[in-house]
Amino acid sequence: MPVVRSSEAVTHEMHGARFVSYAAPRTGSKELCAWRTEIPAGTEGPVHTVTREEILHLLGGELLIALDGRAERITAGDTVIVNSGTALGVRNPTDEVAVLWVTTSVGLEAELADGTRIAPPWAG
């Protein structure tokens, strides 16, 4: 049984947010990836379209999540299902860090509005 200790998690930073990777192929997962995302107060990430379904569960704080341009405020305990092909925007309008737990399948990519494709290392 693979166990990933918190000391073994790998941290990445992108677009002002921190991504702490736990489950990924490098840690023994074959199909799923899971990580914690920390979004500082006042941070707005770029809108991006995801290539795989992604599940966002807010552990703490509040966020404005936009799916295909429709914004929804979520609070701790809420879960958002982001289907493949959906444009996702995330903004933290508060004065506190928001913390998400995210799960998706191996190989997730994101396409930015300018056509740039990102293959985040925590999802592959």
pTM here is: 0.94
Q: Is residue 80 part of a domain?
A: yes
Q: How many domains does the chain have?
A: 1
Comparing CA positions, the residue from 79, 74, 71 lying closest to residue 55 is 79
Query: Residue 68, SS3?
Result: coil
Strands 98-105 and 54-60 come out as: antiparallel
pLDDT average per 10 residues of sequence, the chain (124 residues)? 89 97 94 98 97 98 98 98 98 98 97 96 92
Q: Is residue 6 part of a domain?
A: no
Which range of residues forms the domain containing residue 90? 14-123
Q: Report how far apart, in Å, the C-alpha atoms of 119 and of each of 14, 53, 55, 90 are.
A: 12, 14, 17, 18
Q: Is residue 9 part of a domain?
A: no
Q: Is residue 68 part of a domain?
A: yes
Q: What is the pLDDT of residue 115?
A: 96
- CATH number of the CATH domain containing 64: 2.60.120.10
Q: What is the pLDDT of residue 124?
A: 86
